[in-house]
A and B are shown apart, each in its own frame.
Chain A
Amino acid sequence: MSKFITILEGLDRRWIFLAMAISVAGPILYIGITGKTLPETPTPTARAVYKEIEALSPGTPVLLSFDFDPASGGELTPMATSLVHQCAARGLRMVFIALWPLGPQLIDETIKRVILADYPNLKEGVDYVNLGFQSGNESVMKVMLTDFAKAFPITKNGVAVGDVVALKGIQRVDNFPLLITISAGYPGAKEWIQYVISSSGGKIKMVTGCTGVQTPGLYPYYPVQLNGLLGAIKGAAEYESLVNSSLAPKDSSAAVPAKYLEAQRRMGPQLGAHLLMIALIILGNIAFFAQRNSKVRATS
């Protein structure tokens, strides 16, 4: 026993790294080969996101802001997929923007993955449009409050926004009843709340999908300034299962396409890593108490 404690005390952190690698890679291989995922029970914040989108009537414009980059894609791409999936299924007019320079490419990828693949009847420029990236962080948001076309004068393809059918009737950002942001940091959900939601006087609702780091910081805003919140991959998985179950054809037992299970797949490695962390915390404390006891004994 005491030998074990000594090993724990002097444990090289590289052993921890190795354990982490195994506990993440193992489940990935297992799920990748068997295709099994863990079940999810949605929490209220994830249900709220689903409800807010479902409450809109077909044809309503929604603003989707992709404020992230590929580095946080592991957490946020599944959310982007499911959010666009639900919006497309609901028949909403999707206006995509990005306040992160690398966002527009992620928008295109998501459009390709969801809309072009499964909703080919939706027309670019009519049912959805990618307005690309604008630099300026929150100052872009402020411009949007007064003049949307000034903030985003041309689409990613270079078409003047005045000629885009999907933007008909959009003068200011508050013409969108719902704002969906996918956010990885600054500028992101917090800035949207600070600069757009708080100055719109409750006209716009906002739901957001964000990284695990941001989630705690956004809770103070829910549910008054923020109407729905998907926190990290767990939120993504909950929401994904909600969307999948509501969109699945009632009679068929056809499998959900793999691309709509990305978040639920990632919950497997998540479980492995979390159990490892918990084990580490317990082991760390065993070592701590053992050491303290031996010190106490030594002094007495």
Chain B
Amino acid sequence: MKPSKTWVIVVAVIVVLVGIRMSIGQGMARAYVERIDQSVEVKASDTHGASTEKWTEWHPVAPKKFEAAQKADPSQTKFAFSWANTIGLWLAAFFTLAIFSFLYRDNPGYRLAEAVIIGVSAAYWGVIGFWDTLVPKLFGALTPNLVHDQVLPSLPAPTNGQVVAMCFALALGLMLLMRLAPKGGWISLWPIAFIIGVTAGLKIVSHVESDLVAQSIATFKPLVQPIVSSESAQSGWMLWPTIWASFANILLVIGVLCCLTYFFFSVEHKGVAGRAARVGIMYLMITFGAAFGFTVMGRVALLAARIEFLFDDWLWLIDPAGKRIVEVASAIGSMLC
């Protein structure tokens, strides 16, 4: 079978199944909203008198609430069906399935999702950078009145230091943008050189402080441990807690030293150093194995969350959070009938 044919069949099967699901019981994938009337008293100031500002917001709400309100009063206007969020829900389900389809092979659905996410997320981060960094930091320091009057009334006034720093930042930024100018693009290397230098300088301090020194000190463990901490005694790990604790410390210290030996560059892995390095590699392999095992957990939880989304929010097959009125079991029953 040609790949394109495969996809036609897969999509057709999904469409049919979804169609069946939609016609059974309570249907699926609808979103509702609740009207919230905002009313805020505004105190009088120099520029305007006292007033009451009113506007309406629509917030998402569980289908259960809509159904209950509709039952009590069919003409209610507080809860409503939301086209925007329902379309969003279907779109989200489509994207979810499109990304999963990449596991089988590359296909137009995945390419579409990929194209969308690149465009959306690049702009998303640009917008975040503008509103969360440029506005409060750069404009907040250089044009404080504008920011204060338009966006963030309670942003504290900038200090002189901040103003100087932001002028400097702006200068660096402009040098960087010289790359776009027809001439003088070479100057964009200057801000990059500055950033690389700064990063190098700062990281020396932080790594030596919290990693090199702190981790070395943390390894100062007694190889003989006469006192047992209550914690390990409680959990009843070992028959002889003292011996156990000493044994654990010995293993730990040997491990740290052997792994360090593995990282020696100027010594060939031969003889004593070779043996120590080999023990070090063994420790590293155990470390990696443990990390791998731990990660599986996390990844499965993420997959579970996505599948829950499909089953719960989209297909309305399960309802762990009690968002809908109809009992799940009876819905399943009606589906089978």
- Residues A233 and B297 in contact in the complex (CB < 8 Å), given A14-B103, A33-B329: yes
Check B297 against A212 for contact (C-beta < 8 Å): yes
A17 CB contacts on chain B under 8 angstroms: 103-104
Check A258 against B320 for contact (C-beta < 8 Å): yes
B76 within 8 A of A: no
A223 CB contacts on chain B under 8 angstroms: 231
Check A32 against B300 for contact (C-beta < 8 Å): no
Q: When the two chains form the complex, which single residue of B154, B214, B218, B297 contacts A154, counting CB atoms closer than 8 Å?
A: B154
Cα A139 to Cα B308 with chains together (Å): 37
- Residues A29 and B299 in contact in the complex (CB < 8 Å), given A44-B231, A74-B305, A153-B156: no
B67 within 8 A of A: no
Cα A233 to Cα B299 with chains together (Å): 10
Check A266 against B301 for contact (C-beta < 8 Å): yes
B186 to chain A, nearest CB (A): 29
Cα A195 to Cα B311 with chains together (Å): 42
Total chain A interface residues with beta-carbon distance under 8 A: 57
Interface centre among B210, B297, B320 (most CB of A within 10 A): B297
Check B210 against A14 for contact (C-beta < 8 Å): no
Chain A binder among B1-9, B25-33, B288-296? B288-296
B72 within 8 A of A: no
Q: Closest B residue to A163 by CB, please name it.
A: B154
B276 within 8 A of A: no
Check B296 against A277 for contact (C-beta < 8 Å): yes
B312 CB contacts on chain A under 8 angstroms: 32
Cα A220 to Cα B295 with chains together (Å): 17
Contact indicator per residue, chain A 96-115, by CB within 8 Å of chain B (1) or not (0): 00000100000000000000
B180 within 8 A of A: no
Cα A8 to Cα B114 with chains together (Å): 33
Task: State which residues 22-60 of A face B: CB under 8 Å.
Answer: 24-25, 28-29, 31-33, 35, 43-44
Closest 6 CB pairs of A and B: A32-B318, A212-B298, A74-B305, A194-B210, A160-B154, A233-B301
Cα A223 to Cα B156 with chains together (Å): 39
B75 within 8 A of A: no
Check A24 against B300 for contact (C-beta < 8 Å): yes
Check B156 against A28 for contact (C-beta < 8 Å): no
Check B318 against A28 for contact (C-beta < 8 Å): yes
A224 within 8 A of B: yes
Check B294 against A269 for contact (C-beta < 8 Å): no
A285 within 8 A of B: no
Task: State which residues 113-149 of B face A: CB under 8 Å.
Answer: 128, 132-133, 137
Q: When the two chains form the complex, which single residue of A24, A154, A261 contacts B307, counting CB atoms closer than 8 Å?
A: A24
Contact indicator per residue, chain B 296-330, by CB within 8 Å of chain A (1) or not (0): 11111111111110011000011111100000110
Check A270 against B311 for contact (C-beta < 8 Å): no
B107 within 8 A of A: no
